[in-house]
A and B are shown apart, each in its own frame.
Chain A
Amino acid sequence: MVDYLWNTQSPLQKALVAGRHGVAGAQAGVTLVEVRDLVLVQVMARRGKAADTAKAAKKLFGVDAPNTPKAVAGKSATLVWSGPDQFTVLAPRTDESSQIDAMSQAFSGAASLSDQSDGRCLIRVSGPRGRDAIAKFSSLDLHDAAFPVGTAANTSVDHTAVNCWREANGADGHPVYSMLVFTSFADSLWHAIVDSSLEYGVDTSRTRAA
């Protein structure tokens, strides 16, 4: 008889070995972080209810929901465009059921919600060579002019669908990219990013969403 354990664990439980990998040096070229403890909800406006959805989002988060590929920081959550008339709400996990209840009430009748909190894994790539590492497996143009802070994109990297967006620059002044990936593909994508980063030296770690 097998005992099943229902403890939630990260899809990167095995793949993520915290520390320095690849080229050793004073400073790692790439910093790779798994961001845990998120509440993630997909919001899709219902037929003819795009305006109601936008209004509800504005009321709940205090910002206009993105209607082009952008990520906007709102009150207590980040809203990331994920398709026409749909976006993903990303918030640090405090009390998950009350966080989701608040959204269900706010979007009631206007949009359909889908809880993806344990369905996706959030990987954050930064550091002076982070962009170079991503360029090896993504066909997105990540030049400052084409992909400034706040830009988002749904794209396929390494045969895997990701929602990617650019955060505010890090304390070191270098760009920071977030990638949301399906949990079952997280392990594979993680390896792809680490492999691409080895020649620059990469620091890996995990953190709680803040």
Chain B
Amino acid sequence: MRIACPFCGERENGEFTYLGDASPKRPTFAVDSGESPERVEDAFYDYVYLRDNVAGFMREYWYHGGGCRSWLIAERNTVTHEFRSVTAAPGVGASKPVQAGE
């Protein structure tokens, strides 16, 4: 399996580390918004623990630790290992004034 890093080009997968699903979004609740604790807890439980077991394309985090040390988001087919796209995760590099994480 070879992964085309958007910065380094195509490399062997041994240079990369897999993190997991890139889809979950951290729930945002305003402090003292009156939200019920059960709902907040449910939302975080879902965010931290619950994952879809996708057969097909999924968005996932990969870390190019053996290369440019950037976090990447790849669309990979979990059945065929085909990569449809590999892009930098938000906040990579200093060009964009965005913090890391979605």
Contact = CB atoms under 8 A, between A and B. Distances in A.
Q: Does B associate with A?
A: yes
B66 interface: yes
B67 interface: yes
Interface residues of A, number: 21
B67 A154 contact: yes
A55 to B, nearest CB: 13
B11 A155 contact: yes
A85 interface: yes
A50 B69 CA distance: 17
* Chain B interface size range: 20 to 34
Contact of B94 (A50, A139, A155): A50
B94 A83 contact: no
B94 A45 contact: yes
A143 interface: no
Chain B interface main SS type:
loop
Given A46-B94, A48-B97, A50-B95, A156 B66 contact: yes
Given A44-B94, A46-B94, A85-B94, A139 B69 contact: no
A94 B10 CA distance: 38
B68 to A, nearest CB: 4
B7 A69 contact: yes
A161 B66 contact: yes
Given A139-B12, A154-B8, A83 B95 contact: no
B94 A154 contact: no
Q: Which of A48, A68, A84 has the most CB of B within 10 A?
A: A84
A49 interface: yes
5 closest A-B pairs by CB: A84-B93, A156-B66, A45-B94, A85-B94, A85-B93
Given A84-B92, A139-B11, A155-B67, 5 more contacts: A47-B97, A83-B70, A84-B7, A155-B15, A156-B14
10 contacts: A53-B94, A83-B69, A84-B92, A85-B93, A139-B12, A139-B14, A153-B67, A154-B8, A155-B15, A161-B66
